[in-house]
Amino acid sequence: MPDLAMRPNRVAGALLTAIEARVGGDLHGPDARVTGATVDSRGVEPGDLFCALPGENVHGARFAAQAVENGAAAILTDLAGADECRATGVPVLVSTHARRSAALAAAEIYGDPSRDFPLIGLTGTNGKTTTAFLTEGALRSVHAKVGLLGTVEMRIGDEAAPAARTTTEAPMLQGLLARMREAGVTAAVAEASSQAIALERVTATRFAVVLFTNLSHEHLDFHHTMEEYFEEKARIFTPEFAERAVVLVDDEWGRRLVDEVFVPVETVATRPGTPWADWNAIDAVPTDRGGMRFVLVAPDRSRHDVEIPLPGLINVSNATGAIVAAHAVGVPLEDAIRGVETARAVPGRTEIVTTRDAETPMTVVDYAHTPDGIASVLDAMRLVTPGRIFIVFGCDGLRDDSKRPGLGTAAATHADVVIVTDENPRTEPPEHIRARILEGVDAQRPGRRDVLEVFPRAEAIAAAVRLAGPEDTIIATGKGHETTQEIDGVHHPYTDAGAFLEALARSREERA
Ligand SMILES: CC(=O)N[C@H]1[C@@H](OP(=O)(O)OP(=O)(O)OC[C@H]2O[C@@H](n3ccc(=O)[nH]c3=O)[C@H](O)[C@@H]2O)O[C@H](CO)[C@@H](O)[C@@H]1O[C@H](C)C(=O)N[C@@H](C)C(=O)N[C@H](CCC(=O)O)C(=O)O
Ligand SMILES: Nc1ncnc2c1ncn2[C@@H]1O[C@H](COP(=O)(O)OP(=O)(O)OP(=O)(O)O)[C@@H](O)[C@H]1O
């Protein structure tokens, strides 16, 4: 797979006075042309505007001198960073809203690339990455070169790079979009996390369509309340960001969003019991290949058969959202359906590691890390499991502590055998994280029947493999596509798929 160039090769750039006019800050120093933008001094290229932003640990202005040494032609910062940046001698643009200004400046420098091809934005608690891959498939059915930006990877046609975060910082996002335009991309899809919206990473980005998947408990360490979390997501359903919207109305938040959307909106219902919407996915049943078959009813009441290789109603929702969003940017409906049916597999999301045979269970790697995600994926696996469902999971350290009991309750409610283990504890004591999850397990299953606490994680997977029979399914959730486990600041090489394969090989040897 060829490496991905993160920026365009040719950039006209922008004058600082033009940027000042757009962002509304104060320019100190002479006018100059800047030809790129970055928030990280280590990634500065000659001619860049270095955006020195306040961080959680340190102010970016601390790195102003290093940025200038690396070739930064000018700096954008806030009042707190102004003196340190001005001491470097390059022109400094000071803005009271530096994050927002950085996004607007980057869009100006790269020539507002999101206006030059249809970009679909996806937001919601669960299903963004899966829907992004499915949407990419739908777009590919008629577009020769498609872009994708999300949690797993950033991709332009056949070139790709692993992604560090769901939604990258605005200057990199604008650079990537400009690179897409230069490379001949004619349609793209991008995940927009709620944190990214709050941190202005998608500001100055124009979405032809924004899609809302669902909302449930997540990131409340950052957003504090569900109300605030919802309001943040709702921000991109306005003319500042979007031309039109597609909203899944399976949950109360989607139904509420429809009333607050300020752009033309199409509604989508994908679950039994959801009131009839513009688009409806009905009669969903599992296929004997482990996927789902359903009927999509279009607004003109025409009926379309859809068959996807992914399990459960969650993926019926994801596939339907992808089809409707792609259709909204001009992909003919039948092409969008065929494209979703044959989309690239999504790494680490309901990904089957081994199918069941006469002796061993089916093993699955997944990325559910919210209570709703765990409940939903276990329900999805139930449809393809004649026996018991084992779940192996933990929770990341230094993230939303309040969701941990909810994870435990969801697992104890929807799985048969619950194995609590470690995920990426980071610098938190792992036993504290496990204890918080077990509080929720106990609320649902006070006697702890079929509940185990096993660590390290590979041992937990091995324990599940020892206990499960051929009719059973073992699902390890929370790490998905990740290739390391972060413990005490060290990233240890580790994959759940590798742990499964090793444990299965060992159990085969023991039986032989
Ligand atoms: C809260 C948040 O957004 N944090 C991001 C922020 O980190 P920070 O504020 O701690 O940065 P810092 O270390 O204090 O540094 C301050 C500034 O100095 C700069 N710097 C730092 C060192 C240096 O040598 N040179 C330099 O210029 C940094 O680029 C930064 O701009 O700036 C860093 C550099 O851009 C990001 O890596 C970091 O994201 C962290 C990793 C993160 O976890 N972010 C989460 C909240 C996040 O964005 N998650 C969402 C949602 C995921 C989901 O869908 O579930 C996402 O979109 O991924
Ligand atoms: N529509 C859905 N509703 C609820 N849960 C879902 C849905 N789609 C997927 N999931 C579950 O959530 C997990 C994460 O899915 P996915 O990566 O597609 O979502 P995401 O929104 O991109 O999350 P993140 O940004 O954290 O990666 C999946 O592994 C699956 O267990």
User: Per residue in 492-505, pLDDT tens?
Assistant: 999 999 999 999 99
Mean pLDDT of 25-41: 96
Q: How far is the CA of 54 from the centre of ligand 1 (A)?
A: 10
Calpha distance 271→254 (Å, rounded): 13
Q: How confident is the model at residue 222 (pLDDT cuts 50, 70, 90)?
A: confident
Q: How far is the CA of 282 from the centre of ligand 2 (A)?
A: 21
Residue 273 · residue 284 · CB < 8 Å? no
Going from the C-alpha of 246 to that of each of 77, 307, 326, the distances in angstroms are: 36, 21, 10
Calpha distance 424→388 (Å, rounded): 27
Residue 246 · residue 269 · CB < 8 Å? no
Residue 166 · residue 193 · CB < 8 Å? yes
Q: How far is the CA of 167 from the centre of ligand 1 (A)?
A: 11
Question: In the prediction, which pLDDT does 27 show?
Answer: 97
70 CB within 6 A, ligand 1: no
Does residue 167 have a known ligand-binding role? yes
Q: Name the phi and psi angles at 308, rounded to 5.
A: -120, 150
**512 pLDDT more than 90:** no
Mean pLDDT of 19-37: 96
Does residue 126 have a known ligand-binding role? yes
Which mutation among 122, 364, 367, 369 tests ligand 2's pocket best, with the greatest number of atoms within 8 A of CB? 367
Calpha distance 408→426 (Å, rounded): 20
Q: How far is the CA of 128 from the centre of ligand 2 (A)?
A: 6
Q: How confident is the model at residue 400 (pLDDT cuts 50, 70, 90)?
A: confident
301 CB within 6 A, ligand 1: no
Calpha distance 504→461 (Å, rounded): 10
Q: How far is the CA of 161 from the centre of ligand 1 (A)?
A: 18
Does residue 193 have a known ligand-binding role? yes
Does residue 473 have a known ligand-binding role? no
Question: In the prediction, which pLDDT does 325 show?
Answer: 98
Which mutation among 38, 123, 165, 236 tests ligand 1's pocket best, with the greatest number of atoms within 8 A of CB? 165
Question: Residue with the nearest Cα to atom 39 of ligand 1?
Answer: 165
Question: In the prediction, which pLDDT does 228 show?
Answer: 85
317 CB within 6 A, ligand 2: yes
Q: How far is the CA of 329 from the centre of ligand 1 (A)?
A: 32
For CA atoms 467, 347, 122, 164, the dihedral sign is positive
Q: What is the domain class of 14-110 according to CATH?
A: alpha beta
Question: In the prediction, which pLDDT does 52 show?
Answer: 98
Does residue 124 have a known ligand-binding role? yes
Residue ranges of the domains in the chain?
A: 14-110, 113-342, 351-511
Question: In the prediction, which pLDDT does 423 show?
Answer: 97
Residue 93 · residue 23 · CB < 8 Å? yes
Mean pLDDT of 129-157: 96
Q: Quick check: helix, strand or coil at residue 15?
A: strand
Q: Which ligand is nearest to the CA of 254?
A: 2
Tokens of 73: 């032609």
348 CB within 6 A, ligand 2: no
Calpha distance 57→67 (Å, rounded): 18
Q: How far is the CA of 340 from the centre of ligand 2 (A)?
A: 17
Q: Name the phi and psi angles at 339, rounded to 5.
A: -65, -40
Going from the C-alpha of 155 to that of each of 5, 124, 209, 240, the distances in angstroms are: 10, 21, 19, 26
The residue to which tokens 């089916």 are assigned: 362
Please, what is the angle between helix 496-511 and helix 457-467, to 10°?
40
Question: In the prediction, which pLDDT does 270 show?
Answer: 97
1 CB within 6 A, ligand 1: no
Mean pLDDT of 115-123: 97
Parallel/antiparallel/unpaired status of strands 279-286 and 14-15: unpaired
84 CB within 6 A, ligand 1: no
399 CB within 6 A, ligand 2: no
Instruction: Cite the beta strand spans of 276-338 per DSSP E.
Output: 279-286, 292-297, 303-308
With respect to CATH, is domain 113-342 assigned 3.40.50.1950?
no
pLDDT digits (tens, 9 = 90+) for 406-444: 999 999 999 999 999 999 999 999 999 999 999 999 999
Just give the CATH number of 351-511. 3.90.190.20
Mean pLDDT of 226-251: 92
How many CB atoms neighbour CB 24 within 10 A?
14
pLDDT digits (tens, 9 = 90+) for 278-322: 999 999 999 988 899 999 999 999 999 999 999 999 999 999 999
Question: Residue with the nearest Cα to atom 11 of ligand 2?
Answer: 373
Question: What is this structure's pTM?
Answer: 0.92
**359 pLDDT more than 70:** yes
In this structure, of 39-43, 214-218, 344-348, the range with the lowest mean pLDDT score is 214-218
Question: Residue with the nearest Cα to atom 16 of ligand 2?
Answer: 127
Q: Which ligand is nearest to the CA of 310?
A: 2
pLDDT digits (tens, 9 = 90+) for 168-187: 899 999 999 999 999 999 99
Calpha distance 293→78 (Å, rounded): 53
Among 436, 473, 481, CA closest to 354: 473
Q: How far is the CA of 63 from the centre of ligand 1 (A)?
A: 15
Parallel/antiparallel/unpaired status of strands 153-156 and 159-162: antiparallel
Q: How confident is the model at residue 166 (pLDDT cuts 50, 70, 90)?
A: confident
Question: In the prediction, which pLDDT does 3 show?
Answer: 64
- For the chain, what percent of residues have pLDDT higher than 70? 99
**268 pLDDT more than 80:** yes
Which mutation among 45, 56, 84, 426 tests ligand 1's pocket best, with the greatest number of atoms within 8 A of CB? 56
Q: How confident is the model at residue 2 (pLDDT cuts 50, 70, 90)?
A: low
pLDDT digits (tens, 9 = 90+) for 81-91: 999 999 999 99
Which atom number of ligand 1 is nearest to the Cα of residue 128?
54
Which mutation among 123, 128, 130, 365 tests ligand 2's pocket best, with the greatest number of atoms within 8 A of CB? 130
Does residue 41 have a known ligand-binding role? yes
